[in-house]
Amino acid sequence: MLIPLLLGLPLFSGTMLLLGRPARGAVVAGTLAAAGTLGVAVAAAVERPVDRVPLLAGIPAGFAVDGLSGVLVILVPAVLLASLLVSAAEPDLRTGRFHALMLIFAGAMLATVTSTTLPPLLMAWEVMGATSWALISYQLDDPRAARAGTVAFLTTRTADLGLYVAGGAVLAGSAGTMALADVATLDGGWLHVAIGGIVLATLGKSAQLPFSFWLSGAMRGPSPVSALLHSATMVAAGGYLLLRLAPALDAAGWAAPLVAWVGVATALLMGLVAVVQDDLKQLLAASTCAQIGFIVLAAGTAGTQAGLLHMVAHAAAKSVLFLVAGLWLAALGSRSLSGGLRGAARRHPIVGTAFTAAALSLAGLAPLSLWVSKDAVLAAAATTSSGLYVAGLVAALVAALYSGRALWHVWQPAPTTGTAGPTRLARSATAVNVVLAVAAMGAGLLALGPEPLRPQPPPHAGELVVSAALALAGVLLAWRYADRMPDPAALEGWLRLEPAARRWVARPVLRLAALLARFDERGLARVPERTGRAALALARRTDGVGERALDRAVGGVTGGAQALGRAARRPQTGRLHQYYAQASVVFALLGALAVLLIAVR
Amino acid sequence: MLSLIVFLPALVAAALSVLPARLGPSVFTGAWTATGLVQLALVGAVWADLPATGYGAVERREWIPSAGISYHLGVDGLSLPLLALTVVLFTATALYSWRQSDRPKDFVLLFLLLQTVSGGLFVSLDLILFFLFFDLSIVFMYFVIAGWGTGAPAREAALTFFLYTFLGSLALLVGFILLALAADTPTFDIPTLAARNPLAGGGTYAALTLLAIGVGLGVKTPVFPLHTWLPPAHTEAPAAGSAILAGILLKMGTYGFVRIAMPLLPASWRQFALAFVIVGVLSVIWGALVALAQEDLKRMIAYTSVNHMGYVLLGLGAAGMVSADSEHARELATTGAVYQMVSHGLITAALFLLAGALHDRGHSYAISAYGGLATRIPRFAALFAVAAFASLGLPGFSGFIAEFQIFAGALDAVPLSTVIAVTGVLLTAALFLRATSRMLTGRFRVPDTPGTPRPFPDLRAPELLAIGPLLLLATLLGLLPRLVLDVIEPAARTLNDLVAR
């Protein structure tokens, strides 16, 4: 009963809001639904329900809340509730459509994390992508937002094709019920096909290299959307699925190292991208890719608990950062760190402090939560390869750099010119951010808590000291050189991944499409017409040549017959003596013929 | 019962024909809508009584016994969903045409006849009866396109449509005759032929029969490269005609494969399964790519039909690749193919009706002529977005259930073809999102040619009542697939057994 309620409450209330589009009351209804979902989620995390309904022939839709999914089952509605509470401060977002899409997204995300068979997972997975599209292009009159939504959906769906193929592979590899738990034991080559497909889909959804660029465009959506979908939950879903399937990654052999290295490379490179962004939301987005890189790294090195811990800690910290960025954007009208956001924290000291707490946690400063979770991830990585560990440490330093740089800008003395004075922020929004910031600082304590979050292996004290020192050094370095950092264009442009995708994928496909369309319209479509013409021409020719010849032939035959007839009439004269003469000539000829025949014999 | 369902529209048409045309459209469309609703109730009764195996609601009378032709009707899990789809789509079209102002009487009479013919085809259990309905559908649709299209190009498109599909139907007839003659005592009865399996040995004769039937059905479906009649026919047809053409008439082709080609020619189907798979994959990719390049909304939707019907062929072809432990996969593939027929009917009809509603307001199908519609006509925008996402195979809508089953069922048998076909899902996403974002978002823009009415109203009640339920059904089938799968799956299993024997 809990599973239908858990998934049904957000999905149903969202659909009702979408269909009804009430003029007022959407905020209350949406917030109540989110709160209700959170309540059900807590109960589900305690009760651990399992459910299974028939879906396709022999393939059920299975759902379960276990240790791993239980953590996310609580995390998703919690961030949803926080995002909705903060978004109520923005008049544009007080609509039924916004709340409906956020609720449907949350329902889909809950279904994703609780699925135990592949079809419902894929279904929820793609619905998340669609709500992400709708929420990125929420501002309907902004064509750039619509384009960004399209890019995001198409990029993630490209990767999702992997899940479609994986579905077939799981079936072919003899897991007839398509249970996720059976993936690790598939037969022969199908294991590799299935894992390959799943890895592709997860890297796309989690905006890992080389798919990261879609997250940059996704920042055109409202900030609460970025907080919920594009940092705390949806992009983390890829990492979550990899964590869940870590044993299967191991079974495939090549997959675990691949995933680990892609994760650490994203953590490093996207961290560097974040360092040079002037747009605060772009900085946070790049940092999201980088931080989820740590989760992916954990999945590749069997650090399931560490990855989950990092997911929770990052979700709390990043949602504060995005929500505050959204409040500042609404109040100050800017996302530029060196421009309108200069001194923003001084204007709004309470949310500024919440922002600072979350940013310092993101930097990995001891004793805040990401310090613990990142080291847990790195401890797992160290057991696999020291190369991964060192690369991860460098990525951690980079995280401290971009966090410190953002902090430096928002704490600069505010320019005296410009806006008249501090615009008041909504009290509820401020309160939510303070609560979240406290959670973001303290989430590291969960490492001592329930079993799914207790890292195996635990980080050594030495590692913890090294990374704490690195983080502090990074923040101080950033503070010192914040306005003098080099900004290579390639890094500022997100490694130019999107132009590359346009140039090497989108454009050739569009060109091929145009070419085929021309052939279809001018070539293929004319075939019947040409055939018809050819048939007509053939008919005319038959009429002109064949028919006349036939006519002549028929004429010839009749003419010949007439001539023969005339000739045959000639001997019939009716005179007896002439008949005798004819007979004697014939007999003479016959006689001569007989003599000739005998002579020849 | 089936006879009543099939011929009710024709009876109503006969009754309406004596009424004077000046009575106004609502009399005729009202009667038409009522007919559809009564039919719907009757189909519901048949659905409730459907036996677990074999045919339900069977009717059989001697017709031309000397040639082995009988009036034989019946439904099973393959045909009943399509019969229901027929009734639903015609009823939706009737609602949509509520304000039909151009010769409403003739329009309604023609559609009622088409309704009888379409329903009749799906319940025919005799090849000649099937052929009769198949051919009549072409004739009536010709008049719809030529009579209510957009002038001279419409007549040309209608003629192309007629000649192309009529030639296809001739090939079909040849195939049927070859099939009937193969039996010891010639018969056109489908269950009898399926039971006797006269061409069990395969060989050239059987192959030629399959070729003739395959070409005949392939033109109607349509598959690459026999699809070129479709875009002009759709572009020129009135919205109601397009909806029925795409929703029902195309299904006559794909339904022919599951009702006739596969069970009656099992040996050849197995032998040439790969050919059908390849044609299917080519249709998937070709249809999607060419649709991507279209600037005309209706042409774009028309090409996506080629794409969607390609999946059906992929699934059915894969179901012919019989191997030792492929039973489960083949069941998924066949079920998915039948599901796709129903799903495509609902979604594409909705898309065509939406395109028609847009054309009524803006007098243009050019995608580039519109912009920002979401800000001005939100109901239209919402329904269009939902239909577009349903058509691109988003889970939660029926198309996903169909396509996922086809892919999952086909991968083991034809891995490469399936992987290529899966990319079709991405291409359709690209083309629909492109059209959606260009037309619905941004600054409000509509064609501003002289004669365009200034006001640009949102969808009206009849349009909403027609399109809304179609999308609602597509959603229902996407979320609760068991409603229909419980009917299709046993029939799909029976079909696969017939193919595998």
Residue B8 confidence (pLDDT): 96
Residues B333-357, mean pLDDT to the nearest whole number: 96
Q: What CA–CA distances, in Å, run from B369 to A514, A516, B7, B435, B448?
A: 20, 24, 43, 11, 9
Phi-psi region of A61 (alpha: psi -120 to 50; beta: other; left: phi over 0): beta
Place of tokens 């030792």: B324
Residue A91 confidence (pLDDT): 86
Q: Quick one: pLDDT band at residue A69, thresholds 50, 70, 90?
A: very high
Q: How far does A507 lie from chain B, in Å, by closest CA?
A: 12
Residues A306-321, mean pLDDT to the nearest whole number: 93
With an 8 Å Cβ cutoff, is A534 touching chain B? no
Q: Indicate whether B245 belongs to any domain.
A: no
Residue range A468-512, pLDDT digits in tens: 999 999 999 988 888 777 778 888 889 989 988 889 999 999 999
Burial-class residue A24 by CB neighbours within 10 Å (0-12, 13-18, 19+): exposed
Query: CA-to-CA distance for B222 and B253, rounded, in angstroms?
Result: 7
Q: Given B232, B400, B442, which is nearest A123 (Cβ)?
A: B400
Q: Given B294, B331, B418, which is nearest A517 (Cβ)?
A: B294
Residue B453 confidence (pLDDT): 59
Query: CA-to-CA distance for A434 and A443, rounded, in angstroms?
Result: 14
CA atoms within 13 A on the CB side of A327: 33
Burial A238-256 (b: 16+ CB within 10 A, else e): bbbbbbbbbebbebbeebb
- For residue B420, give the nearest of B302, B257, B290, B310 by alpha carbon: B310
Residue range B101-122, pLDDT digits in tens: 889 999 999 999 999 999 999 9
Q: Indicate whether B9 belongs to any domain.
A: no
pLDDT reading at A237 higher than 90: yes
The torsion defined by the Cα of B437, B440, B444 and B449, in degrees rounded to 10, comes to: 100
Tell me the β-bridge partners of B70.
B62
Query: CA-to-CA distance for A137 and A149, rounded, in angstroms?
Result: 5
State what percent of residues in chain B have pLDDT above 90: 80
Residues B391-396, mean pLDDT to the nearest whole number: 95
B64, containing H or E segment: strand B56-64
Residue A421 confidence (pLDDT): 52
CB contact under 8 A, B441 and A143: yes
Six token digits for residue A112: 């994703």
Query: Containing domain of residue B389, as a range?
Result: 279-501
Q: Which residues contact B172 (CB under 8 A, 6 or more apart)?
A: B131, B134, B212, B213, B215, B216, B217, B256
The alpha carbon of A87 is separated from its chain's Cα centroid by a whole number of angstroms, namely 25
Q: How far does B371 lie from chain A, in Å, by closest CA?
A: 9
Place of tokens 């049927």: B176
With an 8 Å Cβ cutoff, is A516 touching chain B? yes
Nearest residue in B to A124, CA atom: B395
Query: CA-to-CA distance for B230 and B342, rounded, in angstroms?
Result: 19
Residue of B215, B404, B412 best to disrupt the A interface, most CBs of A under 10 A: B404
How many inter-chain contacts (A to B, CB under 8 Å) are there? 149
Residue B451 confidence (pLDDT): 59
Backbone phi, psi, residue B100, to 5°: -50, 120
CB contact under 8 A, A512 and B289: yes
Residues from chain A contacting residue B489 (CB–CB below 8 Å): 57
Place of tokens 């991968």: B411
Query: How many helices and strands (H and E) does chain B possess?
Result: 22, 2
Q: Indicate whether B454 belongs to any domain.
A: yes
Q: What CA–CA distances, in Å, run from A203 to A197, A210, A258, A259, B279?
A: 10, 8, 11, 9, 33
Burial-class residue B52 by CB neighbours within 10 Å (0-12, 13-18, 19+): exposed
SS3 string, B141-176, reads HHHHHHHHCCCHHHHHHHHHHHHHHHHHHHHHHHHH
Residue A422 confidence (pLDDT): 57
Nearest residue in B to A178, CA atom: B408
Q: Indicate whether B169 belongs to any domain.
A: no
Residue A417 confidence (pLDDT): 56
pLDDT reading at A358 higher than 70: yes
Query: CA-to-CA distance for B83 and B123, rounded, in angstroms?
Result: 7
Q: Could you give the angle at the alpha carbon of A567 between the alpha carbons of A561 and A572, nearest 5°?
A: 125
Q: Given B232, B408, B441, which is nearest A171 (Cβ)?
A: B408
CB contact under 8 A, B332 and A142: no
State what percent of residues in chain B have pLDDT above 70: 99
Q: Indicate whether B233 belongs to any domain.
A: no
**Mean pLDDT over the full length of chain B:** 93
DSSP A368-429: SHHHHHHHHHHHHHHHH-HHHHHHHHHHHHHHHHHHHHHHHHHTSPPPSSSSSSPPPPPHHH
Query: How many helices and strands (H and E) does chain A possess?
Result: 26, 2
Q: What CA–CA distances, in Å, run from A318 to A179, A283, A332, A405?
A: 33, 11, 20, 16
Query: CA-to-CA distance for B437 and B140, rounded, in angstroms?
Result: 37
Q: Indicate whether B390 belongs to any domain.
A: yes
Q: Indicate whether B88 belongs to any domain.
A: no
Q: Which residues contact A47 (CB under 8 A, 6 or more apart)?
A: A2, A65
Interface predicted TM-score (ipTM): 0.93
Query: CA-to-CA distance for B170 and B131, rounded, in angstroms?
Result: 9
With an 8 Å Cβ cutoff, is A394 touching chain B? no
Nearest residue in A to B383, CA atom: A19
Asked if A92 contacts A477 with a C-beta cutoff of 8 angstroms, the reply is: no
Q: Which range is least confidently modeled, A544-548, B261-265, B372-376?
A: A544-548
pTM as predicted: 0.91
Query: CA-to-CA distance for B393 and B343, rounded, in angstroms?
Result: 10
Residue of A95, A140, A153 best to disrupt the B interface, most CBs of B under 10 A: A140
Residue range A184-235, pLDDT digits in tens: 998 888 999 999 999 999 999 999 989 999 999 999 999 999 999 998 899 9
Strand, coil or helix: A60 = strand
Q: How far does A528 lie from chain B, in Å, by closest CA?
A: 7
Query: CA-to-CA distance for A232 and A226, rounded, in angstroms?
Result: 8
Q: Quick one: pLDDT band at residue B450, thresholds 50, 70, 90?
A: low
Backbone phi, psi, residue B365, to 5°: -105, 5
pLDDT reading at A63 higher than 70: yes
pLDDT reading at A553 higher than 60: yes
Nearest residue in A to B379, CA atom: A19
Q: How far does B78 lie from chain A, in Å, by closest CA?
A: 16
Q: Indicate whether B440 belongs to any domain.
A: yes
Strands in A143-283 per DSSP E: none
Q: Quick one: pLDDT band at residue B333, thresholds 50, 70, 90?
A: very high
What count of other Cβ atoms lies within 10 Å of the Cβ of residue B3?
14
Burial-class residue A586 by CB neighbours within 10 Å (0-12, 13-18, 19+): exposed
Q: Is the peptide bond before A457 cis (omega within 30 degrees of 0)?
A: yes
Total count of domains within chain B: 1
Q: Which range is least confidently modeled, A310-314, A395-399, A481-485, B167-171?
A: A481-485
pLDDT reading at A151 higher than 70: yes
B84, containing H or E segment: helix B80-96
Q: What CA–CA distances, in Å, run from B456 to A355, A579, B297, B460, B473?
A: 47, 105, 18, 11, 28
